[in-house]
Amino acid sequence: QKEVEQNSGPLSVPEGAIASLNCTYSDRVSQSFFWYRQYSGKSPELIMSIYSNGDKEDGRFTAQLNKASQYVSLLIRDSQPSDSATYLCGNSGGYQKVTFGTGTKLQVIP
Partner 1 sequence: GAGVSQSPSNKVTEKGKDVELRCDPISGHTALYWYRQRLGQGLEFLIYFQGNSAPDKSGLPSDRFSAERTGESVSTLTIQRTQQEDSAVYLCASSLGQVEKLFFGSGTQLSVL
Query: Footprint of partner 1 on this chain (CB under 8 A)?
Result: 6, 32, 34, 36, 43-46, 49, 88, 90, 92, 94-103
**Minimum Å distance from CB 9 to partner 1?**
11
**Minimum Å distance from CB 43 to partner 1?**
4
**Minimum Å distance from CB 61 to partner 1?**
15
Burial 69-106 (b: 16+ CB within 10 A, else e): ebbbbbbbeebeeebbbbbbbbbbbeeeeebbbebbbb
Cα–Cα dist 84/105, whole Å: 8
**Closer CB to partner 1, residue 49 or residue 70?**
49
**Closer CB to partner 1, residue 70 or residue 102?**
102
Cα–Cα dist 71/101, whole Å: 12
**Closer CB to partner 1, residue 82 or residue 95?**
95
Cα–Cα dist 2/60, whole Å: 29
